[in-house]
């Protein structure tokens, strides 16, 4: 039987989501917890991967098991077993063919910036104290939404087949002490959000003009874009699936 | 000349506010930063002390110096010098006789509880997942506000002359993922807020009745009250002074 597990993690102390040799990752930590509690080796498949230091308010993964368990109680048991920086929110029954990665309709990220020294969030936001023109950065967001090919914001030597992404939402929101960039798309290229944010910060400090921002995207050349913003400010926040993949309780 | 310095700190890695031998404290760290930047040994006097692990959204201290400095620029310089978990917000000119501790009119604290596993705030909130009757805890808040002698919530062997405190505000507020206790008084006894919160949690889980809560206060005996809630959930949030202590700019 196949299940979707919905979890949150603070990525500070992990080498990203994906299992890799000789590094502590969120997926490896989750797999171990599932295997211990189900008393059977269990692997999970994530909706995507997050890089070292990136956080998730919501990550979704699927796993298969023939072991029966109490689906209401299992999150509590997993949370007691998992370290304090990984939390399981829900476990849902899905169709056998449902796939956490391939069936996702959209993914959303938030990038958080503190505009002054913040003693409570120094490891969870990018601290950027130079004055930023947020209206101008939202002009850049509008330009961004007009494009589909984001090779310019893709990690070099990436082996993806296409650089096309359908961005449905991209906006900067200013609060009292924070500046947040919210972006939703059908898919994201590796390092894409951090490269977009880094380039938009250059727009916000008038290092890059809006015309140059357009030219960067059209150049399809990563070396024209700005530096990647630090991982600690990035949060995977939501992954949407069609309702049809869920089985009734 | 005397100055009031307004600062914030994440108390996780400090042995509280007050200077003490062989331990890293916030006050000692601040004194060192002031002394280095003013190029003259400088001591600060805090509005109160916070215990090991307790945070401050606002702490106020005064210091004296004859060294002239740019009052607008100094917070930026101090913030660059201070570690990332201490931030200076403002520095203000005050009358020579103004005293951070004795002139404070009121102090406010917030105690933060997460009601489910929270991967982003595990070191900054007390995680309490048992169901709590918040209305009942606010009944206890109402009872609390009717008393003035809080010896029952005072650390044993405390050498204070009086246990009288005038509480002007005490209330639990429930948000989506948090429960916050806000309390304001003219003064607080050592460990008082954490003892109140611990005792109120007992009320919230029906371990202690409202009559028993009343009896605990009237007994003036710390051993009747509940356990102290953990330091990591406690924030000193505001210290008020009469406007007359500030000098015009």
ipTM here: 0.88
Residue range A111-130, pLDDT digits in tens = 999 999 999 998 899 999 99
Question: CA B159 to CA B161: how far, in whole Å?
Answer: 7
> What sign does the CA torsion over B90, B94, B99, B103 have?
negative
Give the global pTM. 0.89
Average pLDDT, rounded, for chain A? 95
Chain B residues near residue A13 by CB distance under 8 angstroms = none
- Is A55 close to B117, i.e. CB distance below 8 A? no
Q: B151: which DSSP letter? A: G
A130 touches chain B (CB under 8 A): no
Distance from CA of B116 to the nearest CA of A (A): 9
Per DSSP bridges, beta strands B44-46 and B2-9 are: unpaired
Strand pairing of B2-9 and B86-94?
antiparallel
Q: Can you tell me the distance from the alpha carbon of A10 to that of A168, in angstroms, rounded to the nearest whole number?
A: 26
Per-residue pLDDT of B56-108, as tens digits, reads 999 999 999 999 999 999 999 999 999 999 999 999 999 999 999 999 999 99
| Mean pLDDT computed over B27-50 | 97
Q: Give the model's confidence band at A93: pLDDT under 50 very low, under 70 low, under 90 confident, else very high.
A: very high
- A10–B119: do the CB atoms touch at under 8 Å? yes
Q: Which residue of B has its CA nearest to A123?
A: B84
Which token pair is A178? 């924070």
For residue A79, give the chain B residue with the closest CA: B117
A51 catalytic? Reply is yes
Give B184's pLDDT tier (boundaries 50, 70, 90): very high
Question: Are the beta carbons of A118 and B87 separated by less than 8 Å?
Answer: yes
B79 to chain A, any CB pair closer than 8 A? The answer is yes
State the burial class of residue A70 (Cβ atoms within 10 Å of its Cβ: 0-12, 13-18, 19+).
Answer: exposed
B84 vs B29: CA distance, rounded Å: 12
Among B6, B51, B103, B202, the one annotated catalytic: B51
pLDDT of B27 over the 70 cut: yes
Q: What is the pLDDT of residue B249?
A: 63
* Mean pLDDT on B232-245: 97
Asked if the Cβ–Cβ distance from A87 to B117 is below 8 Å, we say yes
A119 vs B contacts (CB less than 8 Å): 8-10, 55, 84-87
**Are B11 and B231 within 8 A, CB to CB?**
yes
Q: What is the dihedral of CA A36, A40, A41, A47, to 10 degrees?
A: -80
Residue B201 in tokens: 């949690």
CB of A43 within 8 Å of a chain B CB? The answer is no
């Amino acid at each position: 039987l196949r299940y979707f597990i919905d979890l949150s993690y603070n990525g500070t102390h992990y080498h990203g989501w994906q299992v890799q040799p000789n590094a502590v990752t969120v997926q490896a930590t989750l797999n171990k917890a599932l295997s211990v509690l189900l008393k059977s080796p269990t692997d999970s498949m994530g909706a995507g991967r997050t890089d070292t230091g990136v956080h998730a308010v919501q990550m979704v993964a699927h796993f298969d098991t023939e072991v029966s368990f109490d689906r209401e109680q299992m999150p509590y048991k997993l949370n007691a077993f998992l370290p304090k920086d990984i939390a399981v929110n829900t476990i849902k029954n899905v169709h056998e063919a449902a796939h956490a990665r391939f069936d996702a309709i959209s993914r959303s990220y938030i990038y958080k910036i503190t505009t002054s020294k913040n003693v409570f969030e120094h490891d969870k936001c990018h601290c950027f104290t130079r004055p930023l023109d947020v209206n101008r950065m939202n002009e850049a967001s509008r330009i961004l939404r007009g494009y589909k090919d984001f090779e310019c914001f893709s990690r070099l030597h990436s082996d993806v087949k296409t650089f096309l992404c359908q961005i449905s939402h991209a906006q900067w929101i200013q609060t009292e002490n924070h500046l947040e960039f919210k972006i939703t798309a059908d898919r994201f290229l590796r390092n894409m959000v951090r490269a977009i944010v880094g380039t938009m910060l250059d727009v916000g400090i008038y290092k890059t003009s809006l015309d140059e921002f357009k030219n960067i995207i059209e150049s399809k050349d990563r070396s024209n874009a700005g530096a990647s913003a630090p991982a600690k400010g990035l949060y995977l926040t939501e992954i949407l699936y069609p309702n049809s993949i869920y089985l009734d309780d």
